[in-house]
Amino acid sequence: MGAAGQMNGRDGDIVIRARGIVNGFGDRIIHDRIDLDVKRGEVMGLVGGSGTGKSVLLRTIIGLNKQKEGSIKVFGNEVGDADSASMRALQMRWGVLFQEGALFSSQTVAENIQVPLREYTKMSQTLMNEIASMKLSMVGLPEDTAKKYPSELSGGMKKRAGLARALALDPELLFLDEPTAGLDPISAANFDVLVRDLQKSLGLTVLMVTHDIDTLRATTDRIAVLVNKKIKIGTIAELRKDPDPWIKEYFSGVRGRAALDS
Amino acid sequence: MVSLTDVRPVEERAWFKTERRDNVLRFVVGGEWTLPEAPRLDPKLRALDLAHVREAEIDGKKLDKLDSAGAWLLLRTKRALEDGGAKVRSFIIPESYGPLFGTLEREHKAPPTPETQRLPFLYRVGRGFMHSMTQGYEMLGYLGRVTVETVETIGPQKQLRWKAFIHQVEETGINALPIVGLLSFLIGVVLAYQGSDQLRRFGAEILTVNLLGISILRELGVLMTSIIIAGRSGSAFTAQIGTMRVNEEIDAMQTIGLNTVDVLVLPRVAGLVVALPFLTFYSDVMAMIGGAVMCYFDLNITFPAFLRQLQGAISLNTFLVGMVKAPVFAFVIALVGCFEGLKVERNAESVGRLTTRSVVESVFLVIVLDAGFSIMFSILGI
């Protein structure tokens, strides 16, 4: 069974299952018993106003932030309780693109991509170079980027290089934190197409935090909206009918309408 | 007639075999061609003899799983066949992997970059030499700039930033008192112990006091303090200013119209130039106390006797010769610290590298200058 086969054939397969997540800083609660399911092969967008804890939720799911209550299962394994061995097994199966790319600044782009390969596999340097160059071409970066240092790259190139590193181990699940923030509209649109293409050809499951309504329209299957410490999940069409004032404003405000009705 | 010339199943999870009939090669692959298998497949695929193949068939019907690493190996083999002059007349992989392989074949065109060659030894020596020369030249230019701006602050148009200056005096001077005091005390103890041990053989124990007084006041007090401060404050200057560079704060200052030398460098230089002489004096006192304590316990020289002997051993000049070096060393330490900080590039590694360099350079310069002072004083006969 192939990647696409997995996508269609096992639609009910839940990759991320979060139940009753509570997060907060001090006395301030930002997530009040949130449930979230992400199905295999789907692209889910995570949106919400500033300070609603989108990134916190993402960080909780990938185990960088411990939730106060609730359980998160990724590929059926509890993230919070995972011991280091099973956490490593999980980490091999997902890739994360941080907001600014989070490339290791002391290493070239090629070396950055090879970090996970070196950590988890024993392959020859030649093969690693080949794979790094292949990943770069997959994310649409020119060949000479391999030898450059992150400080020599533009914002958009850093994100692409970060994506190449996230894809290094051929993960099944990809987390993207604001992949198009800070990009010009053309680069952002290209990035959307890139994510969608990669998702299709690699059969990825994607969870992305974004503000960009164009990105949501172009790439996501379903959207999770964080409002009032709770979460609402649906397709764009479903969410546009939602009575919540923030969601209404988000999808039906000037920018939302311009993006969705075009 | 079919002859199986080469059958190589590679493990059970991922395998391939080649069947050769005259100039036609049938390349059959199957199993899980994925990243974990790639290191095993790679050398075996590279070792394949693909010479004199005119036509090839690639059959991947039996593939259970293919990811981008496996797809790359397949693509590489296909390209190797094509580069060898073979015509790939059929290429079959399960339909679901079509998009993946298609993306790869479409996007990946250039051959992988060759490894960077090691540069010849002489070239590297030359480059290193040129680098240090440039470094020295830039440093000299920087010294000039700081001097000019320092002189300007004495004039009416410009004023030292007093708040920042006071903060630096506190940070580099007052907060350094405990560590400088403790280390100086211990140096005094060690020196007295070693000195008394040697001098006792000549029955000249009392000269331990002379040894302590002259070596500490002339050399060790100021040298110790400068080295501690180079490690403590010089490195902090580089790290602070360097981190500001990484965050583009320095660029922001310049666009607002703030002079970076004014805002960052002068308060630090002035602060340390004021703080270090006081620290040196404090260090002298602490080291003498350490020495006196040791003399009392080891040689039974009482404090009044110690002081009487000390008074005879040293003159005001001995003390001043040490003290006069302090502001010079302070200036060098602060200058190097700030200079290296401003040279930081926009990456995390550069902050660390330049901080190390700042400490090594300032300690080096302090010792070289100290030697220079010694020569100068001996010529002047002080």
CA distances, B19 to each of A244, B34, B82, B94 (Å): 66, 23, 17, 21
Residue A171 contacts residue A204 (beta carbons within 8 Å) = yes
Query: Where does the pLDDT of residue A10 fall: very low under 50, low under 70, confident under 90, or very high at 90 and above?
Result: very low
Instruction: Please give the residue of chain A at the shortest CA–CA distance from B42.
Output: A127
pLDDT of A211 reads: 82
What is the distance in angstroms between the Cα of A222 and the nearest Cα belonging to chain B?
23
Q: Which amino acid is at B342?
A: L
Residue A251 contacts residue A239 (beta carbons within 8 Å) = yes
CB pair distance less than 8 Å for B349 and A105: yes
3-state secondary structure of A130: helix
CB pair distance less than 8 Å for A170 and B102: no
Alpha carbon distance B53, B73 (integer Å): 19
What is the distance in angstroms between the Cα of A94 and the nearest Cα belonging to chain B?
14
Strand partners, B63: B31
Query: Where does the pLDDT of residue A120 fall: very low under 50, low under 70, confident under 90, or very high at 90 and above?
Result: confident
CB pair distance less than 8 Å for B96 and A131: no
Alpha carbon distance B307, B302 (integer Å): 9
CB pair distance less than 8 Å for B36 and A121: yes
Strand partners, A21: A34
pLDDT of B12 reads: 61
- Beta strands A222-227 and A230-234 are antiparallel
- Beta strands A173-177 and A94-97 are parallel
What is the distance in angstroms between the Cα of A35 and the nearest Cα belonging to chain B?
31
Residue B290 contacts residue B189 (beta carbons within 8 Å) = yes
What is the distance in angstroms between the Cα of B136 and the nearest Cα belonging to chain A?
25
Of the candidates B96, B107, B112, the beta carbon closest to that of A4 is on B96
pLDDT of B183 reads: 96
Choice between A250 and B380, residue whose per-residue pLDDT is larger: B380
Query: Where does the pLDDT of residue A7 fall: very low under 50, low under 70, confident under 90, or very high at 90 and above?
Result: very low
* Of the candidates B343, B153, B358, the residue with the CA atom closest to the CA atom of residue B266: B153
Most confident of A113-117, A185-189, B91-95, B362-366: B362-366
What is the distance in angstroms between the Cα of A111 and the nearest Cα belonging to chain B?
12
Structure tokens at A73: 């299962």
Interface test with B, best of A40, A88, A93, A105 (most B CBs within 10 A): A105
Mean pLDDT over the full length of chain A = 81
H or E element at residue A206: strand A205-209
Residues of A with CB under 8 A from a CB of B: 1-5, 105-106, 110, 117, 121-127, 129-131, 133-135, 137-138, 140, 143-144, 146-147, 149-151, 167, 169-170, 197-198, 200-203
Residue B241 contacts residue B341 (beta carbons within 8 Å) = yes
Interface test with A, best of B37, B42, B247 (most A CBs within 10 A): B42
- Residue A83 CB contacts under 8 Å (≥ 6 apart), including other chains: none
Sites in chain B below the pLDDT cut of 70: 1-12, 110-117
Of the candidates A106, A129, A167, the beta carbon closest to that of B112 is on A129
> Measured over all CA atoms, what is the biggest interatomic distance in chain B, rounded to whole angstroms?
114
Alpha carbon distance B337, B11 (integer Å): 59
H or E element at residue A260: helix A254-261
Which residues does chain B have within 8 Å of residue A161's beta carbon, measured at their own beta carbons? Answer: none
End-to-end CA distance of chain B: give it in Å, rounded. 105
Count of CB atoms situated within 10 Å of the CB of B44 = 13
Does the beta carbon of B42 lie under 8 angstroms from any beta carbon of chain A? yes
The two counts, helices (H) then strands (E), for chain B are 15, 4
pLDDT of A126 reads: 84
Count of CB atoms situated within 10 Å of the CB of B303 = 12
Of the candidates B34, B99, B345, the beta carbon closest to that of A200 is on B99
pLDDT of A51 reads: 79
Residue B73 contacts residue A124 (beta carbons within 8 Å) = no
Query: Where does the pLDDT of residue A5 fall: very low under 50, low under 70, confident under 90, or very high at 90 and above?
Result: very low
pLDDT of B61 reads: 83
Does the beta carbon of B203 lie under 8 angstroms from any beta carbon of chain A? no
Q: What angle do CA B210, B213, B219 make, to 5 degrees?
A: 125
Q: Edge to edge, what strands does the sheet with A222-227 contain?
A: A94-97, A173-177, A205-209, A43-48, A222-227, A230-234
Structure tokens at A138: 């997959």
What is the distance in angstroms between the Cα of B189 and the nearest Cα belonging to chain A?
45
Q: What is the mean pLDDT of residues A171-183?
A: 85
Of the candidates B35, B72, B97, the beta carbon closest to that of A3 is on B97
Does the beta carbon of B47 lie under 8 angstroms from any beta carbon of chain A? no
What is the distance in angstroms between the Cα of B73 and the nearest Cα belonging to chain A?
9
Residue B180 contacts residue B279 (beta carbons within 8 Å) = yes
Alpha carbon distance B101, B70 (integer Å): 10
pLDDT of B279 reads: 96
Query: Where does the pLDDT of residue A4 fall: very low under 50, low under 70, confident under 90, or very high at 90 and above?
Result: very low
CB pair distance less than 8 Å for B347 and A105: yes
Which residues does chain A have within 8 Å of residue B354's beta carbon, measured at their own beta carbons? Answer: none
3-state secondary structure of A232: strand
CB pair distance less than 8 Å for B96 and A201: no
Alpha carbon distance B127, A233 (integer Å): 60
Q: What is the mean pLDDT of residues A105-131?
A: 85
Q: What is the mean pLDDT of residues A35-48?
A: 88
H or E element at residue B247: none
Question: What own/partner pairs with CB < 8 Å and gap ≥ 24 does B35-39 have?
Answer: B35/A117, B35/A121, B35/A169, B35/A170, B35/B67, B35/B69, B35/B70, B36/A121, B37/B11, B37/B13, B37/B70, B38/A121, B38/A123, B38/A127, B38/A131, B38/B69, B38/B70, B38/B73, B39/A121, B39/A122, B39/A123, B39/A124, B39/A127
Cβ neighbourhood burial of A83 (10 Å; 0-12, 13-18, 19+)? exposed
End-to-end CA distance of chain A: give it in Å, rounded. 38
